Structure 1
Amino acid sequence: MATHTSFERGLMILSEIADGGDTTVERVAQKLGMPVSTTYRYFRTMREHGFVQEDAGHYRPGHALLALSGRHLTQSHLAEVGTAVLKSIVDAVGETAVMVIRVGTQAMCLRRSEPDKAIKYTFAVNELLSLSAGAGPRMLLAWAPSDVVRAVLDGELPRYTEHSPTAEQIIASLSQIRATGWVVTRGELDPGAVSVAVPVFFGGEVVCSLNVAGPEGRCGSRSWIDSTVKTMNEAARNLTASLESVAPRHILREVRDDVRNLA
């Protein structure tokens, strides 16, 4: 590994945290070829200044890094407009709709809207679930950095139902999800539920997924799925346009590219 200044090493570490979202000192040290003790000193300083936050030895972006990268602005806007976007989907398809974001190696329900007839499903607002099961989380996994995918697949995969997928099934699905632009799962989080998700792109990245879930009896037909995907894709395009109107789409990509060029 080439010799880098202290500033360059700090930027490289920040880039790894921003990309991975949930990592450890040891993992970053190994990837960058740095001593663990040195890497830990950087993490300690970054934590003191709000660039990272720690939870039981795992580190994720802090408020300062989120603000710098533009992700804080993006997620704030998603939260602000999310309810209206999801309500438009619910009005069109008549089933529960949720907006899902990735938090490290987990999925979080950012916003949720449901009709009066809705069956109560597993995913509640602010709840964290694995990226491995369910259409919305799986969509985010399909577009996640490779380190995140490996961390999820190498970990213990929860079995929410008998239909929750294995690591082999997940691996087989990811390339197809990226190719088709949508995903359908059946009974992976809740028995008897059909779940459909599409991605929302901003600045070349998937910033969230839109997810509709309903019972197999109402939502299992191909015609319902096709109609729902069409509605959700329209909502996703509108959401991308809304994001582009409030934040320059190139900020996050340029910051990451500049940092990587230092290496």
Structure 2
Amino acid sequence: MPGAPRSSSFARGLNVLAAVVDGGPQRADEVAARTGLSTSSVYRFVRRLVDDGFLEADGHGTYRVGPRLSRLQDGPGTGQTLRSLALPFLRDLVSETSETVLLTVPAGLSALVVESLDSPHSMRLSFAPGTLRPLHAGASAKALLAFAPQDVIDRVLGGRLERFTPGTPAKATLRTQLARIREQGYVVSRGEVDPHAVAIGVPVLPRGRLACALSIAGPEHRFDGNRAHTEVRALTAAARALASRIEDSARTLPAPPYSTT
């Protein structure tokens, strides 16, 4: 509504929706802390947003992006097709690395988790499909950002970079990191979003166009020594194989959203 005051009910509802879109799945009290609204007000807004399909509840008090927004982020049929193509490689990576494996795609200025397969270890990191992660922190996101169009990179670097931990990169550091990721073709992050977590991400580039990213994540104590180098090789091989599979299926898969050329 043009000219609507930021204190209007409409604006507050948008703030609640934006909190979940930007911050990923959250409880109502977390949304309240992020938006400055009372928890009772947040509940009132999320009920309407759930009814309208913009958010969905997981049955445990957590709200995430709903089907109406997921369709917009994913493109018609893209996520389901990509998930089907990637699943064999994700399963192989879990078997080979014994860590949580993620498939992420760019969604505006966020990384959308399309699929996540959990580590068999009792101590693991878990990510629900539909989670939106910021592009400036974490391996699964920075593997996408490094190969995004320059205008996307400029928008991320020109905005406010939320700091999740002391390890979250500042703008100058992030700019340097992105150049290094493009040069070496992978990224290792340590404690950037979750303290004491390590993640490794690689882009998937069919015909030089960014389609998605593959990453593994786990607690830092399992990434001692040269283990990261071994996992980079496994991820890189899987990314190349998935890129070839996507190329073979190009007639049924819509064009990837970002080009590296």
TM range (shorter): 0.5 to 0.7
Q: Does 1:185 align with 2:189?
A: yes
Q: Which residue of 2 aligns with 1:135?
A: 139
Distance 1:226 1:153 in 2: 29
When residues 140 and 249 of structure 1 are mapped into structure 2, their CA distance, relative to the original with a 3 A threshold, is farther
Cα distance in 1 between the residues matched to 2:211 and 2:254: 14
Q: Render the CA deviation track for 1:103-152: whole Å, top value 9, x for unaligned.
A: 01111111111122153436421111110000110111101111111111
For the residue of structure 1 that corresponds to 2:181, the secondary structure is helix
Is residue 2:166 matched to residue 1:165? no
Gaps of 5+ in 2: 1-68
Cα 1:144–1:236, aligned 2, differ >3 Å: closer, same or farther? same
Q: Which residue of 2 aligns with 1:240?
A: 243
Residue 250 of structure 1 deviates from its aligned partner by 11
Structure 2 residue 84 is the aligned partner of structure 1 residue 80 = yes
- With CA pairs under 8 Å and 6+ residues apart, which has the higher RCO, 1 or 2? 1
3-state DSSP of counterpart to 1:203: helix
Task: Trace 1:57-206 onto structure 2 (pairs within 5 A).
Answer: 66=75, 72-73=77-78, 75-121=79-125, 123-206=127-210
Question: 1:2-21, CA deviations, whole angstroms, 9 ceiling, x for partnerless residues?
Answer: xxxxxxxxxxxxxxxxxxxx
Under a length normalisation based on structure 2, what TM-score does the superposition of the two structures give? 0.65
How many residue pairs match? The answer is 189
- Aligned-residue Cα RMSD (Å) equals 2.7
- Paired residues of 1:96 and 1:118 also in contact (CA < 8 A): no
Paired residue secondary structure (2:133): strand
Aligned to 1:226: 229
Partner Cα separation in structure 2 for residue 220 and residue 144 of structure 1: 31
Give the distance between the partners of 1:79 and 1:249, measured in 2 at CA: 13
Judged with a 3 Å threshold, the aligned counterparts in structure 2 of structure 1 residues 220 and 238 are, in CA distance, closer, same or farther, namely same
Partner of 2:57: none
Higher helix share: 1
Give the AA of the match of 1:164. Answer: T
What is the distance in 1 between the residues matched to 2:75 and 2:95?
33
Tell whether the 8 Å contact from 1:108 to 1:129 is kept in structure 2 after alignment.
yes
Q: Output aligned runs, 1:202-221, within 5 Å.
A: 202-221=206-225
Kindly provide the amino acid, as one letter, of the partner of residue 237 in structure 1.
Answer: R
| 8 Å CA contact retained: 2:137, 2:193 | yes
CA contact 1:203–1:252 (8 Å) conserved in 2: no
Identity %: 32
In structure 2, do the counterparts of structure 1 residues 118 and 105 end up closer, same or farther at CA, with 3 Å as the change threshold?
Answer: farther
Q: Distance in 2 between matches of 1:203 and 1:249?
A: 16
Secondary structure of 1:196 counterpart: strand
**Other structure's SS at 2:193 match:** coil
Amino acid of the structure 2 residue aligned with 1:151: R
The alignment partner of 1:125 has SS state of coil
Counterpart CA distance in 2 for 1:76 and 1:202 is 17
Structure 1 CA distance for aligned equivalents of residues 87 and 255 of structure 2: 25
Q: Which whole-Å CA distance do the structure 2 matches of 1:183 and 1:115 have between them? A: 20
Amino acid at match of 2:199: S
Partner SS, residue 209 of structure 1: strand
Report the Cα distance in structure 1 between the residues aligned to 2:204 and 2:138, rounded to whole angstroms. 17
Counterpart amino acid of residue 234 in structure 1: A
Corresponding residue for residue 28 of structure 1: none
